[in-house]
Amino acid sequence: MATIVQKFGGTSVGDVTKIKRAAEKVKREYDAGNRVVTVVSAMGKSTDTLVQLANDISDSPDKREMDMLLSTGEQVTISLMVMALKEMGIDAVSLTGWQAGIKTEPVHQNARITNIDTERLESYLGDGKVVIVAGFQGMSENGDITTLGRGGSDTTAVAIAAALNAESCSIFTDVTGVYTCDPRVAKKARQLQSISYDEMLELANLGAGVLHPRAVEFAKNFQLPLIVRSSTVDKEGTIVEEEASMEQNLVVRGLAFEGAVTKITIERLPNRFHTMSDVFSSLAESGIDVDIIIQQMTGENEMNVSFSLNTEKLSEALQVLENNRERLEYKAIRHEDSLAKVSIVGSGMISNPGVAANMFQVLSDNEIEIKMVSTSEIKVSVVVPEENMVNAIEVLHTAFELDTREASKVTIS
Ligand code: ADP
Ligand code: ASP
Ligand code: MG
């Protein structure tokens, strides 16, 4: 008997009709003789609604209480899904994250799963029940409810699939698979048949919201095939696996992007061994994530340091730097907001020099200014003005031969 793990995202369970439709898919797998565990997200945009409620009360809501609040969203869906299955004559049971044995670090709002105690899951599966699990949540060793970060239900599904030695994990969502770029933005984006774990991990980390990065990490660590497919259109999805075949020898598999980027430049810092560690440890201690870093000597004993970060963190970062002005001994701070990061990703880059040069050429031909650059073996990211972001995506998508021949084939349900 095969064990199947499926996950339905928020839009796929957005109302009662959709929940019933998702339940049909669960039933199909169950009727085919499989042991089925289904992970569900909160209905539609209900997590956003809960976040808004908290923000209406406090500018900085308590993190433990946020987890308590947000975990309720998924709890609504699991019970409704079980009711829908029971109406179809299927024996099913709902479990919250902690009831399903999901243990996490004692961190609120962005916890990592540390272990899954599968005893209860196995016992219900052994009784022939379908098990419906609340995504995005777990419990820390001190007994508090934790959540896994926005989009974290993907990670719940993959972690359960790994723990149960499932054959694969299917992520049902509102697109038919992983595309060369977000099809809502890149009109010529085309669905990929397959993509490697490493490429998907880069894309997810660089802003492609279709999969939670930790879900891809788990799938890679456990060599678990991950399938992204539509919850409404009956179409083959995209498989995320170790080796993806390189279509037409393309070096770039896909593009990702993130808006709301700000570049901060700290001017004329003293050139000392510990300057860099002083700057970035003071930011890290305040929980400020920085992204691209550039260091530039401006004189024999002075340097400028620039870094990018999410604009949401700008005022906090400026405050931290101001508080550390005497210790860091810089002369001035500048910042530039309304920027965006656009990245190209592909394993083919490893063996093809000149990909970054091509990217820069295409952007320069289109008069798009590059503010910052960062590279790894399989990606190149550039920071550009946000007003040029969509244009940058489109010209790069075409230049790296990713366009679909029939743009109209892109399906968003
Ligand atoms: P769910 O609620 O099912 O988890 P998400 O909104 O988290 O759905 O993820 C699906 C969305 O991801 C799509 O609607 C699409 O706009 C976006 N997306 C971003 N990048 C990509 C990509 N490369 N391929 C497909 N979808 C993408
Ligand atoms: N409901 C959570 C969110 O909206 C988790 C998820 O959907 O994966 O982020
Ligand atoms: Mg999601």
Q: If you measure from the C-alpha of residue 14 to the centroid of ligand 2, how many angstroms do you get, rounded to a whole number? A: 12
Q: Does any ligand 1 atom lie closer than 6 A to the CB of residue 240?
A: no
The per-residue pLDDT for range 140-159, each reduced to its tens digit, is 999 999 999 999 999 999 99
Which residue CA neighbors atom 12 of ligand 1 most closely?
210
The per-residue pLDDT for range 11-20, each reduced to its tens digit, is 999 999 999 9
Give the ligand with the smallest distance to the CA of 9: 1
The per-residue pLDDT for range 105-143, each reduced to its tens digit, is 999 999 999 999 999 999 999 999 999 999 999 999 999
Domains assigned to the chain:
3-174 (3.40.1160.10), 255-399 (3.30.2130.10)
Nearest-atom number in ligand 2 for the CA of 152 is 8
pLDDT at residue 244 in the model: 73
Q: Does any ligand 1 atom lie closer than 6 A to the CB of residue 176?
A: no
Q: How confident is the model at residue 410 (pLDDT cuts 50, 70, 90)?
A: very low
Q: Does any ligand 1 atom lie closer than 6 A to the CB of residue 171?
A: no
Query: Is 90 exceeded by the pLDDT of residue 405?
Result: no
Q: How confident is the model at residue 406 (pLDDT cuts 50, 70, 90)?
A: very low
pLDDT at residue 247 in the model: 65
Q: If you measure from the C-alpha of residue 382 to the centroid of ligand 3, how many angstroms do you get, rounded to a whole number? A: 25
Q: If you measure from the C-alpha of residue 153 to the centroid of ligand 3, how many angstroms do you get, rounded to a whole number? A: 7
Chain mean position to CA 262: 20
Nearest-atom number in ligand 1 for the CA of 185 is 16
The per-residue pLDDT for range 257-270, each reduced to its tens digit, is 999 999 999 999 99
Please report which residue ranges of 36-132 form alpha helices under DSSP H.
Answer: 46-57, 63-87, 119-126
The per-residue pLDDT for range 294-305, each reduced to its tens digit, is 999 998 899 999
Which residue CA neighbors atom 9 of ligand 2 most closely?
150
299: helix, coil or strand? coil
Q: How many CB atoms lie within 10 A of CB 33?
A: 8
Give the ligand with the smallest distance to the CA of 14: 1
82-89 contacts, C-beta under 8 A, 24 or more apart: 82/132, 84/16, 84/19, 84/20, 84/22, 84/23, 85/23, 85/26, 85/27, 85/130, 85/132, 88/23, 88/24, 88/27
Nearest-atom number in ligand 2 for the CA of 74 is 1
Q: How confident is the model at residue 249 (pLDDT cuts 50, 70, 90)?
A: low
Q: Does any ligand 1 atom lie closer than 6 A to the CB of residue 12?
A: yes
Q: How confident is the model at residue 55 (pLDDT cuts 50, 70, 90)?
A: very high
